[in-house]
Structure 1
Amino acid sequence: MTNPISAQTLLTRELLARRRPGYSLEAPFYLSDTLLQADMEHIFGKHWIFVAVEPQVPEAGDYITVDFGKNSILIVRDDDMQIKAFHNVCRHRGSRLCATQQGVVGNIVCPYHQWTYDLSGQLIHAKHMGDDFDPKGLGLKPVHVRSLAGLIFICLAKNPPEDFEQMVTEMTPYLAPHRLQDCKVAAQIDIVEDCNWKLTMENNRECYHCMSNHPELTISLYEYGFGYQPDEHNKDELQRFQDIMAANHERWEGMGLPSAEIDTLDDRITGFRTQRLPIDRSGQSQTMNAEVASKKLLADFVDPALGGLSFWTQPNSWHHFMSDHIVSFTVLPISATKTLVRTTWCVHKDAVEGVDYTKENLTAVWNATNDQDRRLVEESQIGIATGAYEPGPYSPFTEGLVEKFCNWYVNRLSELTK
C-alpha cells in the first residue's frame, strides 16, 4: 500500500507546475501557511542555512541560539575551540536548554531538572536516575554545522548537501583574506518585516529599486553594478564602469584578492554568487561618505580601497566584505507573513569604539537601507494579499538574480516534493 499524498504536497505540486519562468510567483507562495510548511520542511529543513558569524562565539563556552520555524538551535564553541551545533532541547523531558539569544556557559544545564551536558553535547550529570541509568545515547541531538571562513552554516537534514564542500573550495580564497575569525561583532540589529521571507530575498536580489529608494546606499554603489538596460544615452557611462571594474579587478587580483564573478545561484543545490565590485566616490567602504567606517583595517590590509566583495547564498543570506568591516545578513521565516532580518557588522578585533569607529557611522547606511527595504516588501505583501495581484514579468536587465532565486526555489521544491 502506498502512502496517501498530503494536501500540502498536492497544493505545492500544483502551484509549482503552473509557475511561469521569468515571472514572479503566485500569491499562495507568499500568503499560504501550507506553503510555508513546505518551505520549512524542504528548503530550511534540507539545505545549508547561514545563521551566524564566528565572532559571535569567540571563546570556549560562548553560545548563541537561532530560532526559525519550530526549531531552536544551540551553537556553542567547545573546549577545543571547535564550533558545535545542537537542537536546543533537553533529552530528559524536552525543555528548552538556553532561553537567551547569547551567553556563556561552563556546561549546558537544563533549567528544569538540571540534566547537565558538556560542550561536546555529552550528558555528564543526571541526578535521581538510579544506579542502572546509562547516560550514553542521551547526549544532545547534533546538527550539522560548518564554518566557511568564519561564516557559520547549519543543516538540519540527516544527510546534508555534499556540494557545500565545493562552495568552500571556491569561496575560501575570496573570503579568507578578510580574516573574519579575527574580527569582533561591533553591532547586530534585528528587524521584523511583515512579509513572506521570499519577498525579502527577492528584494535583495535586485537593484532595480535602488536609485529611487536608497539614497544612502547609492552614495557608494555604482548605478551599473547590478544590471542596467543599455541604450544610446548611457552607453558611455556603462563603458566607463566596465573600464573601472576591469582596472580594479586587475589591481585586486595582483594583491591576492580574487575578484571575478562566480555565479551558481540556480544550478547547484548549494547555490551561491560572488563578485568584488568597485565602490563609488572615494571607493573605500559602504558608508555615508564612502570612506572607511573603521580606521583599523581588517587583516593586514594597508589599502582601504579594496572594493566590496559581495557574497550571496541560497536560500537566506548575503554579505559584503570590505577593507575595514564586514556586513552579514540572515533571513529567517517567523510565519507565512513575518520574517526576521538579522544584520551583523564586524570590525577588526583590536578596533576601539569611539577611537577607530563609531556604531552610528558603521551602521548608518544599512540601517537606513534595511528600513527602506522593510517598507517596500511590506507594501508588496499588502498588494499581493488584495486578490488583484497576478504574477508580473521580471526585467531581463535588472532582475535576473531574482529569477535565479525563484528558479532555484522552484527547482529545489519540485525535486523534494516528488
Structure 2
Amino acid sequence: MTAPVNVPISSRGKLATSLPAEQLAEITELFENRREGFSLDAPFYTDPSVFKIDMEAIFGRHWIFAASVAELPEPGDYVTVDYGPYSLIVLRNDDGGVNVMHNVCRHRGARVLPESTGTTGNLVCGYHSWTYAPNGDLIHASAPGETKFDKSCFGLKRAHGREYAGLIFVCIAADAPTDFDETAKIFEPYLLPHDLPKTKVAYQQNIIEEGNWKLVMENNRECYHCDGHPELACSLFPTWGLTEGFIPPHLEEVWDRNTEAQASLEKRCERYGIPHQVVEELDTRVAGIRISREALDGDGESFSPDGHRLSKKLLGDLRDFRLGRCSMHLQPNSWFHFLADHVVTFAVFPVSEHQTLVRTTWLVADDAVEGIDYDLGKLTHTWKQTNLQDKAFVELCQKGASSPVYEPGPYMKSEYQVEAFINWYTQRVLEHLA
C-alpha cells in the first residue's frame, strides 16, 4: 500500500545540461553511438560531466530505493540518504507515512541533520537553530530586529516519497515518473508474505567502492564472475543467468541439481499460494524490474554453507523455511533477497564519477533475539565476504576503464541482464537530453 506523503516542492537548481553546447553535443553523441552488446566507452565511467548528467537524468528524475520500514519504524525516526550532490531526510511521520525533504537549511545551506540515522521531534539546524516541523515547515528562526520575516517562505524543500510492501522509495524530480505504481503492483504480491513492517535491522554495512556506480550495477546483474564468490556458491547456484544449451561441462551436474530443486520449490510455492514466476521487464518500462523466486542449494533455506536457515524465526505468515530466495532487481540502484528467515537489501548511492556507496542491510523478524534465534556473524558472513569480493572486482574494472588502452568488450550470453541495465540507462539519459 502507498503510505501518505508530503507534497513536493520543485527546485531544479543548476543543470548538467547547462554545460557548454559543444561539450553537451559530444556527450549526447557518446550516448547515441553506444554499441549494443558491448560495455560502455571509458568516459561513461570516468568523465565528471557524464556523472553530472547521471545525477540529473537518472538520480534526479527517477524513483530510487532509500530504506526499508525497519530502519524507521516509529514516528520521528529518520535516515539521511546522500548521493551525488544531494542529501535527503526520510522521516517517519505521525500518520505512519514518510516525509522526504532536502537536507539543506533554508538559511545558509547547512546540513540540518548531519547524522545518517536517528530520532527527532522538530528538525533543528545546528548552525543558527532554525527549526522545522517534521513536514519541513519553518516554525522558528531567531532573527533579532527582523519584523517582516515571513517564515512560510522558507520551509525545507521537499521531495516525493512512497512506501510499498515495506520498502521506501524517493524521487527528487518535480514530476515523478508515474509508472512506478504499476511496477509496485508486480512486486508487492511477492514481498507481502515476508511482512517487512514486522522486521528489524540486525545489521547494516556501508562500503565505499572505488568505482563508478554503473560498474557496481553491472557487476550485480550477472553471475559470470560467480566463481569468485566461494561463500555465496555454497547456497546460490552458480548457474544463475545460464540457459539450456549454454551450460559449461563443469556446471552440468550443478545445473541438473538446480533444475530439480527449482521444480520442488515451485510445487511448494503453489501449495502455499506464493508467487514464483519470473517477471523480467528490465528495459521495457521506465521503472525496470526483474523478480522471481529461485531455489537455493543444500537445504534450500538460506545463505549459509549448507543452505540451512540462519534465523529460527520465520518471517510474516510464512509456514516453511525451504522457500529459496525471492530475488528482485529494480532500476537504477537496488537489488534484494527475500528469504523465509531474513531479508537482505542492497542500495547503491553514487558519490562521484569514481566512488560509490553500497549499503547492505540485513533484516530479521522483529521478535528474533540475537544469540538465541540467530548468530549475527553467521547471518552476515556470506554477503559480507561477497561484498568485499565484488568491491575488488569493481575497482579492477574502474582502473581498467581509466587506462588509455581500454576499449569496450562484448557481453557474453549470460550477461544479458547487464545489457538490459545499460540499455535502460542509455534510453533514460537520451530521453532527458532530448
Q: Which residue among 49, 56, 63 is the counterpart of 1:34?
A: 49
**Per-residue Cα deviation, 1:337-367 (whole angstroms, up to 9, x for no partner):** 1111110000011111111112101110000
Q: Any conservation in 2 of the 1:207–1:226 contact (CA below 8 Å)?
A: yes
CA deviation string 1:277-329 (max 9, x = no partner):
00110100112331111111111323111110001011111000000100011
Of 183, 186, 196, 2:199 maps to: 183
Deviations 1:13-58 (A, max 9, x none): 1111221111110111111111111111111111111111111111
Tell me how far 1:215 sits from its aligned partner: 0.6
1:231–1:282 distance in 2 versus 1, CA, 3 Å: closer
RMSD: 1.8
- 1:73 aligned counterpart, secondary structure: strand
Q: Specify the alignment match of 2:96 in structure 1.
A: 81
- What is aligned with 2:158? 142
Q: Cα distance, 1:243 vs. partner?
A: 4.2
Matches within 5 A, 1:111-260: 111-128=126-143, 130-210=146-226, 212-228=227-243, 230=246, 233=249, 238=255, 241-260=258-277
Aligned to 2:83: 68
1:337 to 354, 367, 383: 354
Q: Sort the Cα spacing of 1:63 and 1:232 in 2 relative to 1 into closer, same or farther, 3 A.
A: closer
In structure 2, do the counterparts of structure 1 residues 4 and 277 end up closer, same or farther at CA, with 3 Å as the change threshold? closer
1:360 corresponds to which residue?
377
Length, aligned pairs only: 414
Percent identity of equivalent pairs: 46
1:384-407 deviations in whole A, cap 9, x for unaligned? 2111111111112x1010000011
Instruction: Check the 8 A contact 1:197/1:331 in 2, yes or no.
Output: yes
Q: In the alignment, does 2:21 pair up with 1:6?
A: yes
For residue 107 of structure 2, what is the amino acid of its counterpart? H
Q: Is residue 8–residue 35 contact of structure 1 (8 Å, CA) maintained in 2?
A: no
Cα distance in 2, alignment partners of residues 13 and 247 from structure 1? 49
Residue 277 of structure 1 aligns with an amino acid whose one-letter code is E
Distance in 1 between residues matched to 2:359 and 2:19, nearest whole Å: 39
Which shifted more, 68-77 or 107-116? 107-116
User: Of residues 391, 412, 426 in structure 2, which corresponds to 1:410?
Assistant: 426
TM-score by length of 1: 0.95
Structure 1's unaligned 5+ residue stretches are none
Indicate the SS of the match to 2:298.
Answer: coil
2:358 maps to 1:351 = no
Cα pair 2:195 2:317 within 8 Å, conserved? no
CA contact (8 A) 2:80 2:113 kept: yes
Q: Unmatched 5+ residue regions in structure 2? A: 1-17
Specify whether residues 308 and 380 from structure 1 end up closer, same or farther in structure 2 by C-alpha distance, changes over 3 A only. same
1:235 Cα deviation from its structure 2 partner: 6.2
- Calculate the TM-score normalised by the size of structure 2: 0.91
CA offset digits 1:40-83 (Å, max 9, x no partner): 11111111111111111111111111111111101111122221
Separation of aligned partners in 1, 2:288 and 2:23 = 25
